[in-house]
């Protein structure tokens, strides 16, 4: 298997500075502060590479205020680093990457700069990389250390990704690229997800045959049936050979009259921390206690990232870990 699970050690964390005024609207300034808070939390454990438009460099330095961060100027359209960065792999004990096409989720026209970022990062890190001709966002897949890859049909099989691949063709391509054995398909993601249903709001392997799964017992929640079906599919795939840990989704979050698509699954591992989104609802305390029990040797950090979430993603979406190999 070439993929490197996210809970293993990182060398760097790549983050992009928020810049899309049309997307963030009135909360852009607050989203920048939240990104800065996230950067400073991560940087105590691993080197942060912050990519920003040249016109934003002075602002980045001022708001972040951290001399340990590497500020890298590059043209950007948006800030979803998980989706525009390369997918890092291990090949013959060397760090390499695969650079997929990015097409703005098949719905946004301003993506050409972001589509260059994967190659730019690979060259910046001086690693070998393969350029793939089909569209794949990093938030659309997750993987464990058991040669399983997880994704959603609503994203990978969506016609707006312009891949023109059948499910079987997709499986063959991903198995070949990543040297995996199994692909587990969930039908769809959270209702209203602008990405069409990325897996990183639904499922996260954490090692030791444990898997976090977004859940709700509220039958009135619009995601109730989706999450129950996902749970059945995951349990059927593993047949009780693993531990499935339900993580509640938060109560509905409204910001600037917009209902956010929110999930605690959208978090980030560092060596000594788990950095989780905080939504200012009662589930925050439940999730903190759950993660404290799961990761007794890590500090559980919760950050208010509702303005980032307003833009369409969260902590996992705006970060990409560069593994140590």
Backbone angles phi, psi at 200, to 5 degrees: -75, 5
Q: Which residues contact 141 (CB under 8 A, 6 or more apart)?
A: 87, 149, 150, 151, 174, 199
Residues of the chain above pLDDT 70, percent: 100
pLDDT value, residue 273: 98
Q: What is the mean pLDDT of residues 81-97?
A: 97
pLDDT digit string, tens, across residues 168-210: 999 999 999 999 999 999 999 999 999 999 999 999 999 999 9
Q: What is the mean pLDDT of the chain?
A: 97
**Is residue 217's pLDDT more than 80?**
yes
pLDDT digit string, tens, across residues 244-301: 999 999 999 999 999 999 999 999 999 999 999 999 999 999 999 999 999 999 999 9
**Is residue 120's pLDDT more than 80?**
yes
pLDDT value, residue 1: 80
Which residues are marked as active site? Answer: 317
- The CATH number corresponding to 10-323 among 3.40.50.720, 3.60.110.10, 1.10.8.60, 3.75.10.10 equals 3.75.10.10
Query: Is this structure's pTM higher than 0.95?
Result: yes
What is the C-alpha separation between 22 and 5, in angstroms, rounded? Answer: 34
**Is residue 140's pLDDT more than 90?**
yes
Q: What is the mean pLDDT of residues 125-133?
A: 96
pLDDT value, residue 241: 86
Per-domain residue ranges of the chain: 10-323
What is the C-alpha separation between 309 and 325, in angstroms, rounded? Answer: 32
Among 26, 51, 21, smallest CA distance to 124 is for: 51
pLDDT digit string, tens, across residues 50-77: 999 999 999 999 999 999 999 999 999 9
**Is residue 240's pLDDT more than 90?**
no
Among 263, 283, 149, smallest CA distance to 201 is for: 263
């Amino acid at each position: 298997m070439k993929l490197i699970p996210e809970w293993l050690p990182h060398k760097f964390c790549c983050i992009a500075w928020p810049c899309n005024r049309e997307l963030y609207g009135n909360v852009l300034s607050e989203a920048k502060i939240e990104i800065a808070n996230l950067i400073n939390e991560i940087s105590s454990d691993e080197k942060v590479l912050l990519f920003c438009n040249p016109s934003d460099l002075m602002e980045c330095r001022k708001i972040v205020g951290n001399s340990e961060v590497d500020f890298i100027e590059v043209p950007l359209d948006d800030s979803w680093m998980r989706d525009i960065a390369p997918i890092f792999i291990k090949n013959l004990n060397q760090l390499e990457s695969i650079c997929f096409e990015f097409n703005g989720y098949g719905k946004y026209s301003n993506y050409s700069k972001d589509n260059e970022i994967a190659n730019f990062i690979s060259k910046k890190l001086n690693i070998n990389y393969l350029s793939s001709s089909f569209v794949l966002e990093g938030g659309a897949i997750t993987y464990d250390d058991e040669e399983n890859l997880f994704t959603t049909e609503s994203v990978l099989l969506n016609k707006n990704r312009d891949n023109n691949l059948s499910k079987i063709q997709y499986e063959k391509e991903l198995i070949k690229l990543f040297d995996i054995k199994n692909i587990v398909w969930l039908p769809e993601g959270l209702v209203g997800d602008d990405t069409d249903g990325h897996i990183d709001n639904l499922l996260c392997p954490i090692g030791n045959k444990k898997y976090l799964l977004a859940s709700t017992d509220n039958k009135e929640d619009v995601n109730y049936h989706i999450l129950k079906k996902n749970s059945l599919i995951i349990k059927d795939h593993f047949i009780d050979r693993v531990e499935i840990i339900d993580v509640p989704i938060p109560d509905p979050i409204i910001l600037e009259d917009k209902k956010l698509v929110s999930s605690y699954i959208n978090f980030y591992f560092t060596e000594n921390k788990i950095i989780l989104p905080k939504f200012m609802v009662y589930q925050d305390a439940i999730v903190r206690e759950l993660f404290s029990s799961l990761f007794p040797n890590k500090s559980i950090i919760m950050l208010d990232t509702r303005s980032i979430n307003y833009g369409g993603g969260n902590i996992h979406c705006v970060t990409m870990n560069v593994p140590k190999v």
